[in-house]
A = this chain, B = another copy of it.
Amino acid sequence: MAKASGASAKLSKKAYESKVSRLRRDLVDLQVDLQQSRTKIVLILAGVEGAGRGEALNTLMGWLDPRNVETIAVDAPSNEESERPFMWRYWRSLPSSGRIGIFVDSWYTQTLREQTDNRQDLAKLGDELHRIRHFERLLADSDALVIKLWFHLSRDDQGQRLYNLQADQSTAWRVTDHQVRAHKAYQRLSRTAEHILAETDRPGARWDLIESVEPKARNLAFAQTLLRRFRAHHRQLHRRNQTKPSKPTRIAALRPDGRERLLELPLDHKLSSRDYEAKREKWLGRLNRAIRRAQEAKRTIVFVFEGQDAAGKGGAIRRLVSAMDARDYRIMPVAKPTDEEKNHHYLWRFWRQLPRDGRVIIFDRSWYGRVLVERIEGFCYPHEWRRSYAEINDFEEQLQDHGSIVVKYWLQISKEVQLERFRARETTPHKQHKINEEDWRNRKQWAAYETAVGDMLALTDTAHAPWSLIPANNKRYARLEVLRQAAKRISAALE
């Protein structure tokens, strides 16, 4: 797996400086090239206590052009961070295209620190490593260059370093209790580290070892490793096929059963206005109580509304929020991504919108655009939307793990009903803004959407975030169903 870099032999000052001078020039050149090709670089610095990651980083910052580099050092989570899923703080710190994010503290920091302070049980560690592998794979899949460096130091060298620091009055303060404990537990930590390294050394997210006993050699090894990885990535960019994704000629089902389920749904329902009003009050009341209980329990509720154009998402959302206090919810209409969002992973724009604990967020369209419009219009490559199902399931699982309640709706109408509603929009003055050319274009893709929706329903209908299919030809019936499903799902989640 990880390759060892960095000779431990002492370098003469002159030899060091000449090497540094060449390295710097090469590094900056490649940095500029990668910046111009919009690469995002995620650099993780981890390793043994006392190996001098901080010093090495400061040296490196003098060698790079620091202006498009961001150093991420996270202390204890802020309350805004701890009130969101664990990975939120890292998502918010990810570099955008063309930038380098150096994680001095990363998703490994907490894992390693806990191992120092107490023997964590292996099952929990296994879960964390699974989550880490998944996240790094997601980054690598999105063409980020992920560089993970492990700064290594033997037990004796670590002891020597701590001793030297303590012996000098001006540096003694730098030796922390944590470091002393880490030294005492070196053997055990070292075994854990080996385990972690082995379990997270995966294609696209390999570890490189930096031998750290001698500072100059360590710094050179650090820079040389970066240079090698920059070069390899740069070559790869040039080899890569530069054709843009194109609109597919046909949409083939991955899971025909999903489409079946959709087509079997009875869409027409009768519901008298009086019946509707009585039931609406009942379900609004239940929903209101369920939401208040969720808030008291500090549980966030994430609503997702998907459905064809004119399926009645807006109307359903309006009735839904009438059960809530305006101060407690936020509605997020999802349209085209902004240019900042385009410079990030497609899930980033949704991560950034996650609210603090005990609040409600309503996505009017959502991350499912990836496997619907982006798939159908060819806005991304097939291998991209294909892997999104797993990424989305994982995202929603992280929401659930944090205690959030995910409620997802697909509102389904028939093609005839859509036509009626489009025409009504065109002829009603204050509804004309709700219809445009794009809606008519999408309508021509009706069959393609049926297939894509079917795949979505089959592949993302999970225990932690099941889909509610809402027959929506009858608006009243649909609105009631939305309330009813919400109340039931939230109540069930609170049991």
Contacts and interface: CB of A to CB of B under 8 A. Distances in A.
Interface of A: 25, 28-29, 32, 36, 54, 57-58, 60-62, 65-71, 73, 78-80, 102, 104, 314, 317-318, 321-322, 325-331, 333, 338-340, 356, 364, 430, 433
B71 A32 contact: no
A70 B328 CA distance: 10
Nearest to A56: B326
Contacts of A67: 314, 317, 331, 333, 364
Contact of A325 (B25, B54, B356): B54
A65 B314 contact: yes
Query: Counting chain B CB atoms within 10 Å of each CB, which of A25, A364, A430 scores highest?
Result: A430
Contacts of A328: 73
A75 to B, nearest CB: 10
> Which 4 residue pairs spanning A and B have beta carbons closest together?
A73-B327, A71-B326, A61-B326, A57-B326
A66, A71, A73 interface centre (most CB from chain B within 10 Å) = A66
A273 to B, nearest CB: 15
Contacts of A430: 25, 28-29, 32
A3 B356 CA distance: 38
Nearest to A77: B79
A433 B430 CA distance: 52
Nearest to A433: B32
Contacts of A314: 65, 67
Contacts of A73: 327-328
Contacts of A321: 61, 66
A36 to B, nearest CB: 7
B333 A68 contact: yes
Contacts of A25: 430
B66 A331 contact: yes
Contacts of A79: 78-80
A237 to B, nearest CB: 17
Contacts of A327: 54, 57, 71, 73, 104
A416 to B, nearest CB: 26
A466 to B, nearest CB: 25
Nearest to A26: B430
A318 B79 CA distance: 33
Nearest to A322: B62
Contacts of A364: 67
A203 B342 CA distance: 40
A58 B340 contact: no
A339 B341 CA distance: 10
A25 to B, nearest CB: 6
A29 B80 CA distance: 37
